[in-house]
Chains A and B, each alone.
Chain A
Amino acid sequence: MRLHRLVLRHFRGVAEREVTFDTNGVTVVVGDNETGKSSLLEALALVFELPDDSKAAKLRAVQPAGQDVPTEVRAEVSFGDVRLHYRKQWFRQRATELRLEPGGQTWTGREAHDEAGRLFAEHVDQTLWAALIVGQEHALSVPAAGSVAAVLTALDEAAGGEVDHGASVPLVEAVEREYLRYFTRTGRPTGEYSEAQARRDDVRAQVIEAEDRLAALEQDIARAERFGRDLAVLSARLDEQTGKAAELEAERNAGEELIARVDRLRRDADLANQRLTAERGELERRQLLVAEARQRADSAAAASEAALSAAAALRSSERELEACTAALRTSREAQTERRSAVRRLDGQLTRLRDQADLAELAARLVDVEEARVQERRTASELTRLTIDDAAVDAAEAAHREVLLARAALAAGSPSIVVRQLGSAQVEVGGSVLDEAEAELRAERDTTIAVPGVVEVTVRPGAGATELAAAYARAEHTERELLAEFGVADVAEVRRAGRARAEAVRALDTARETLTRRLDGASPDELVARRDLLADRVAETEATADSLDEQSPLPGTVEETRAALVRAQEEEATAARLLADAEARESQHRKEFETASGADTEARVRAEQETERRDDAQAALVAARSARSDETLAAAVVSAEAVVVTVVRDLEQVEETLAASGIEQLDDRISEAAALRQQLAAQVEELHDDLRRVEGRLEMAGVQGLASAVERARADLAQVEGRLQTLERRALAASRLRDTLARHRAEARRRYAAPLRERIDALGRFVYGPSFGVVLGDDLEVRARTLHDHQLPVSSLSTGAREQLATVVRLAIAALTATDGSGVPVVLDDALGWSDPGRLGAMGSLLARAGASSQVVLLTCVPDRYAGTVAGARIIRV
């Protein structure tokens, strides 16, 4: 399609505007805002779309506000070789005119509109129109080439495929529409199809419900039939049983009279027996009354007697109690007396014992004193005798040393035997020898001399000397010791020692004596005890003196003791007597109290009995005054006679009845009645059941359940038929859609390459060699690559996006310009966001595009394209 001329009159704010376009190359329409540039696009669309009598809202929008003027659009376009002169006037003087050249065919009115529309539809691909003729508001959207039929055709040609003529796009849309009649986009049944499914389910449920109800009804019918059969059987049996019962009943009526007589006689017998019982009771009560009166009188007499004897017993008991009380008093006094005698004698005995103790203690004190004197004397003697056993032992020891030393010396000295042979004197050691023979010991130098004759000196050896010295030392020690003791020799020492031992023994004896006499007590204690005793004796004697006046007390202990024993025995005797008297007294007191109680009771009882006797006698008198004893007895006799008569009659009638066998009849009647009743109940029950079911059936009959089932089934058949048809259609649509989609996706993959190359080639013109695009399934630009950097379209800047959209449009235009089906590229106020550098490059692109396509640029910025699009024709409006 080529656009040659557009004339607008009274279109929006435009009073009149005519624009002529270059058939090839670029036409730039420059005008300020609101001068009607965009109206050109709008007018071009409306002139083909709406007839002159249209009332469409978007048409009314273009009528100048507040002016009642016709709106006119004239368009001159060519479709291939055919040029259209097309004029349309709306609102007033409505008119449509179409003239074709060459040929000069003309149409007017509706025919003109239709023919123009037909030509437009035939030659202009709507999808391409939408992609390339772009209002301001769509400048930024990058078209998806996959939805442009012409592009697909072109690409198909480029790809070497068969010519599609763009038919697949409307086909795809049609298939999609068909599919969406039956399915949602997610593949769920929808619309008519899902309604039919739902309806089928509903109706099927209705069928089931209706069938269920009918089935229940048919069960009721079967039940009613069964009840009816059972009822017939049971009714027959009931009738039979009723007849049987009636027969038995008739039999029984005959026996009825007899039974009535028995009943009457039984009642009579009962009455006679009752009367007899009553009369007998009366008589019995009278007898009881008489007996009671008698018994009461006896009781009253006995009670009076008992009261008298109880009073007598009380009096004697009282006397005895008094005697006992007096005896008790006497016994108590005697015992008191005895006790005081015992106490006196006891005191006397104590005093006498104290006196004796005192005398004994004084004697003992004398003995003690004596022993103490003896002791003191012996002790003083002992102090004089100093040589004790130790001293004796020492002296003995020293003497023994002497003896030992002397013996040793004698043994150690030479023994000299001197025998006088003549009478010459012989001196030995200076002493004349007087014996014929002497043997001596030369303990020291011993000289044996005959005077004048000879002298011989015998000298002992050195050992003898020493022994002699030791002997001297021992003698010396003994001497010194004796001197110390003041005695002459050892014998004396021994004597002194014996004297001392004697003295020690005497002291021991004296001390022993003292100790024995003290007998554990100290002398001071003994003195104190004696003083105490002396005081007590003095005291008691004073007391005793005062008592002696009463009776003489025995003087000795023995006498006193004997007297005391006697007095104590007497006292014990008196105490026993006292206890006896007390016991007796208490017993009598109890007896007295008992007697007193008995007396009171007997008296009260006597009074009561008397009263009762009076009552009983009064009652008896009253009864007798009503009916005498004789009358009563006679009444009993007559009642007995009546009973006997009636019972005899009854027995006779009963015998007759038993003979009649009516008892068994009764059983049979009641049995028959029970059976009949049972049957009747069953029949009744069955009847009720039947009636109930029949009632239900009657009600159900009105509801037309069978018709309901029939209707529901017929509905279901219809609905199922309808669903089947729809299902077939739905499945066919689904199948077709799937198949088509699969093949289209395949094809697009094939188409992507040439389209991308075309877009890349144009884009590189603006952005340089690194530019590239990525295409999606619908051949839409998904992403832009620049300097190896890939950005999704949505992330591009406004300017870049607009440039990309323009590039894609130009690519589409170039692809579709090769045959006559192309449409002009119209850009309204595009590239407003582009920088001057890019704008320049874009201008070059537009200029190149103008070489093969008609390009129309609408702008309000005069120099946006003026300097950038080479060879552009500028029109100012």
Chain B
Amino acid sequence: MAATAAMTPTAAPSRARVTFVHSSDWQLGMMRRFLGPEAQARYGQARIDAIERLGAVARDARADFVVVAGDVFDANQVDRQVVLRACEALRAVDCPVLLLPGNHDSLEPGTVWTSPSLAPHLPSQVDVLLDSRPRSPVPGVEVVGVPWRTRRLLADPLGDVSAFDPLPPGMLRVLVGHGQVDSLAPDVGDPALIRAAPLERAIADGRLHYVALGDRHSCTSVGETGRIWYSGTTEPTRPEEERPGEALTVELSAGPDGSSCTVTPVRVGTWRLLSRVVEVDGDAALDELSAWLGDQPDKARTVVRLGVRGSLSVSALTRLEMLLDAHEERYAAIQRWTRHWDVGLLPDDAALDALPVSGPARAALDELRAATGAGDSEAADALALLHRLAGGAA
């Protein structure tokens, strides 16, 4: 997908052109509760590996530089191992990389950015935007980053810099910021929202050509200018995210005949976090679920948050359990979505009648069935267990 915004010509006598990659919210060091230790490790590694893939994207696009709009690290106090591996991965990016401290890795005291674990190990082409001094990774472009100095801001993080001076002709200006934009924020009372209007004005005036934002994990274009973007995270972190796992290739140009901006999302993520709720009433529904689970590609890097509703026979229930049991091994994780998990036992199941039990065992079975019918989930479990131990068909 590509978005192009054309602008009216400016007074610039010559034409400036630049291509760069916009990424954000790497959240290195993040862990997910629904992942087991093994998947956790792979997930963490995938976030590191995404840096190298980003480097490949930059190379393919012949990008001049890469900007990362905040939250490179999930916290200032991440494991040293994460920091060192990130530094190592950054080596693979052969153009300049500008990293912005966000709210998760703000420049508060004890920040990771100045720590001895990080600073000496950063590759030379990497520049951390510790202040808002304009940078020129390549001639003709001015990159201004606004780092978070503390993890909780009480004002618009871009408020101080949105009044830009006019640019000399032939210069392009890119603003790198982090935070929620007011037009997308659910809570407009938050004082730390980024006001979009001044940015849009600056863009309209030709004082600003692109705003690279971070914080939102979904790849999103803000407003109508086509020049304010959230790139989204490189690897998904929650099933709710829309279009995570992408990076943006941005081509800017400005000249006497006008200015253009082309933004192309590129996939860099390898993981998928899916949500699915299924209604089950019998083997057909289970067949469908089994097929869906079976059809998903790349299961080892897929997490399914699964909700199941309905009532099943003992054997179907057992089948469901076995199905999930088997897939839990294949998938990175199958998370039972407690809010949408409501699967019961059909008490009038003929399979229970057919169980080879009699006498007292039969009487016990009947009692548990009655309790199951009354909604006793423990009795349902006990009944399923009885079914299994009595040699009922799986």
Which A residues are within 8 Å of any B CB, using their own CB?
A: 152, 156, 161-165, 167-168, 171-172, 174-175, 178, 214, 217, 220-221, 224-225, 228, 690, 693-694, 697-698, 700-708, 710-711, 713-718, 728-729, 731-733, 735-736, 739-740, 742-744, 746-748
A746 to B76, CA, bound (A): 66
Nearest neighbor of A174 in chain B, beta-carbon distance: B389
Confirm or deny: B367 has a beta carbon within 8 angstroms of a beta carbon on chain A: yes
Q: Taking the nearest CB of chain B, how far is it from the CB of A662, in angstroms? A: 48
From B117, B382, B390, residue with most partner A Cβ within 10 Å: B382
With a cutoff of 8 Å between Cβ atoms, the chain B residues found around residue A690 in the complex are 109
| Contact status of A168 and B360, CB under 8 A, knowing A214-B77, A702-B115, A704-B80 | yes
| Contact status of A694 and B78, CB under 8 A, knowing A168-B361, A743-B363 | no
With a cutoff of 8 Å between Cβ atoms, the chain A residues found around residue B386 in the complex are 171, 175, 736, 740
Q: Taking the nearest CB of chain B, how far is it from the CB of A206, in angstroms? A: 14
13 more A-B residue pairs beyond the given contacts A732-B385, A742-B364, with a C-beta to C-beta distance below 8 A: A163-B358, A171-B386, A174-B389, A175-B385, A224-B108, A697-B110, A707-B78, A715-B37, A717-B34, A718-B36, A735-B379, A736-B382, A739-B368
Q: Which of B33, B35, B77, B357 contacts A217 (CB 8 A)?
A: B77
Q: Across the interface, do A731 and B378 meet the contact criterion of CB distance under 8 Å?
A: yes
**Which residues of chain B (353-394) have a CB below 8 Å from chain A?**
356-364, 367-368, 378-379, 381-386, 389-390
Q: Taking the nearest CB of chain A, how far is it from the CB of B155, in angstroms? A: 15
Q: Across the interface, do A168 and B76 meet the contact criterion of CB distance under 8 Å?
A: no
Q: Across the interface, do B74 and A710 meet the contact criterion of CB distance under 8 Å?
A: yes
A264 to B93, CA, bound (A): 77
Confirm or deny: B40 has a beta carbon within 8 angstroms of a beta carbon on chain A: yes
With a cutoff of 8 Å between Cβ atoms, the chain B residues found around residue A729 in the complex are 381, 385
Tally of contacts, chain A with chain B, CB under 8 A: 168
Q: Which of B75, B78, B358 contacts A156 (CB 8 A)?
A: B358
Confirm or deny: B32 has a beta carbon within 8 angstroms of a beta carbon on chain A: yes
Q: Across the interface, do A740 and B358 meet the contact criterion of CB distance under 8 Å?
A: no
Q: Taking the nearest CB of chain A, how far is it from the CB of B353, in angstroms? A: 12
A729 to B389, CA, bound (A): 13
With a cutoff of 8 Å between Cβ atoms, the chain B residues found around residue A164 in the complex are 357-359, 361
Q: Across the interface, do B77 and A701 meet the contact criterion of CB distance under 8 Å?
A: yes
Confirm or deny: B100 has a beta carbon within 8 angstroms of a beta carbon on chain A: no
Q: Across the interface, do B76 and A706 meet the contact criterion of CB distance under 8 Å?
A: yes
Nearest neighbor of B381 in chain A, beta-carbon distance: A732
With a cutoff of 8 Å between Cβ atoms, the chain B residues found around residue A161 in the complex are 358-359
Q: Across the interface, do A698 and B382 meet the contact criterion of CB distance under 8 Å?
A: no
Confirm or deny: B79 has a beta carbon within 8 angstroms of a beta carbon on chain A: yes
With a cutoff of 8 Å between Cβ atoms, the chain A residues found around residue B221 in the complex are none
Q: Across the interface, do B358 and A168 meet the contact criterion of CB distance under 8 Å?
A: yes
Tally of contact residues, B, Cβ under 8 A: 49
Q: Across the interface, do A701 and B150 meet the contact criterion of CB distance under 8 Å?
A: no
| Contact status of A732 and B360, CB under 8 A, knowing A221-B110, A698-B115, A706-B77 | no
| Contact status of A700 and B33, CB under 8 A, knowing A163-B358, A221-B110, A732-B382 | no
Q: Which 8 A-B pairs have the closest CB atoms?
A: A697-B110, A224-B109, A706-B75, A732-B381, A717-B33, A704-B79, A743-B360, A747-B360
A700 to B378, CA, bound (A): 47
**Which residues of chain B (183-199) have a CB below 8 Å from chain A?**
none
Q: Across the interface, do A167 and B390 meet the contact criterion of CB distance under 8 Å?
A: yes
Q: Taking the nearest CB of chain B, how far is it from the CB of A210, in angstroms? A: 10
A394 to B173, CA, bound (A): 197
Confirm or deny: B116 has a beta carbon within 8 angstroms of a beta carbon on chain A: yes
Nearest neighbor of B355 in chain A, beta-carbon distance: A167
Q: Across the interface, do A747 and B359 meet the contact criterion of CB distance under 8 Å?
A: yes
Q: Taking the nearest CB of chain A, how far is it from the CB of B43, in angstroms? A: 10
A744 to B112, CA, bound (A): 67
A690 to B110, CA, bound (A): 11
Nearest neighbor of A699 in chain B, beta-carbon distance: B110
Q: Across the interface, do A728 and B359 meet the contact criterion of CB distance under 8 Å?
A: no
Nearest neighbor of B380 in chain A, beta-carbon distance: A732
**Which residues of chain B (116-163) have a CB below 8 Å from chain A?**
116-117, 150
Q: Across the interface, do B110 and A747 meet the contact criterion of CB distance under 8 Å?
A: no
Q: Across the interface, do B385 and A701 meet the contact criterion of CB distance under 8 Å?
A: no
With a cutoff of 8 Å between Cβ atoms, the chain B residues found around residue A710 in the complex are 29-31, 74-75
Q: Which of A221, A739, A748 contacts B364 (CB 8 A)?
A: A739
Q: List 30 A-B contacts (CB under 8 A).
A: A156-B358, A156-B359, A163-B358, A165-B358, A167-B357, A167-B390, A168-B357, A175-B389, A217-B110, A221-B109, A221-B110, A225-B150, A228-B109, A690-B109, A698-B110, A698-B115, A704-B82, A715-B37, A728-B378, A735-B379, A736-B383, A736-B386, A739-B364, A739-B367, A739-B368, A739-B382, A740-B361, A743-B364, A744-B360, A744-B364
Q: Across the interface, do B109 and A707 meet the contact criterion of CB distance under 8 Å?
A: no
Q: Across the interface, do A701 and B117 meet the contact criterion of CB distance under 8 Å?
A: yes
Nearest neighbor of B150 in chain A, beta-carbon distance: A225
| Contact status of A701 and B76, CB under 8 A, knowing A174-B389, A710-B31, A739-B368 | yes
A735 to B385, CA, bound (A): 10
A713 to B35, CA, bound (A): 11
With a cutoff of 8 Å between Cβ atoms, the chain A residues found around residue B359 in the complex are 152, 156, 161-162, 164, 168, 747
Q: Across the interface, do B77 and A703 meet the contact criterion of CB distance under 8 Å?
A: yes
Q: Taking the nearest CB of chain A, how far is it from the CB of B303, in angstroms? A: 13
Q: Taking the nearest CB of chain A, how far is it from the CB of B252, in angstroms? A: 36
Q: Across the interface, do A736 and B29 meet the contact criterion of CB distance under 8 Å?
A: no
Q: Taking the nearest CB of chain B, how far is it from the CB of A93, in angstroms? A: 39
Q: Which of A172, A702, A735 contacts B378 (CB 8 A)?
A: A735
A684 to B303, CA, bound (A): 54
| Contact status of A220 and B34, CB under 8 A, knowing A175-B389, A735-B381, A736-B364 | no
A704 to B363, CA, bound (A): 58
With a cutoff of 8 Å between Cβ atoms, the chain A residues found around residue B150 in the complex are 225
Nearest neighbor of A167 in chain B, beta-carbon distance: B356
With a cutoff of 8 Å between Cβ atoms, the chain B residues found around residue A742 in the complex are 364
A31 to B32, CA, bound (A): 76
Q: Taking the nearest CB of chain B, how far is it from the CB of A829, in angstroms? A: 36
Beta-carbon contacts of B339-362 to A below 8 Å, as 1s and 0s?
A: 000000000000000001111111
With a cutoff of 8 Å between Cβ atoms, the chain A residues found around residue B82 in the complex are 704, 707
A742 to B74, CA, bound (A): 56
Q: Taking the nearest CB of chain A, how far is it from the CB of B298, in angstroms? A: 22
Q: Taking the nearest CB of chain A, how far is it from the CB of B391, in angstroms? A: 8
With a cutoff of 8 Å between Cβ atoms, the chain A residues found around residue B117 in the complex are 701-702
Q: Across the interface, do B74 and A171 meet the contact criterion of CB distance under 8 Å?
A: no
A700 to B112, CA, bound (A): 10
A407 to B384, CA, bound (A): 184
| Contact status of A171 and B29, CB under 8 A, knowing A217-B77, A225-B109, A731-B378 | no
Q: Taking the nearest CB of chain A, how far is it from the CB of B364, in angstroms? A: 4
With a cutoff of 8 Å between Cβ atoms, the chain B residues found around residue A694 in the complex are 109-110
Q: Across the interface, do A706 and B389 meet the contact criterion of CB distance under 8 Å?
A: no
Nearest neighbor of A746 in chain B, beta-carbon distance: B360
A343 to B61, CA, bound (A): 174
A742 to B33, CA, bound (A): 42
Q: Across the interface, do B356 and A165 meet the contact criterion of CB distance under 8 Å?
A: yes
Q: Taking the nearest CB of chain B, how far is it from the CB of A753, in angstroms? A: 15
Q: Which of A174, A706, A716 contacts B78 (CB 8 A)?
A: A706
Q: Across the interface, do B115 and A701 meet the contact criterion of CB distance under 8 Å?
A: yes
Nearest neighbor of B389 in chain A, beta-carbon distance: A174
With a cutoff of 8 Å between Cβ atoms, the chain A residues found around residue B389 in the complex are 171, 174-175, 178, 736
Nearest neighbor of A735 in chain B, beta-carbon distance: B382
| Contact status of A167 and B361, CB under 8 A, knowing A707-B31, A739-B367 | yes
From A178, A694, A713, A714, residue with most partner B Cβ within 10 Å: A714
With a cutoff of 8 Å between Cβ atoms, the chain A residues found around residue B378 in the complex are 728, 731-732, 735
A2 to B363, CA, bound (A): 34
Nearest neighbor of A731 in chain B, beta-carbon distance: B378
| Contact status of A701 and B110, CB under 8 A, knowing A178-B385, A743-B361, A746-B363 | yes
With a cutoff of 8 Å between Cβ atoms, the chain A residues found around residue B379 in the complex are 735
From B81, B356, B386, residue with most partner A Cβ within 10 Å: B386
Q: Taking the nearest CB of chain B, how far is it from the CB of A53, in angstroms? A: 30
Q: Which of B81, B110, B384 contacts A224 (CB 8 A)?
A: B110
A259 to B180, CA, bound (A): 69
A172 to B360, CA, bound (A): 10
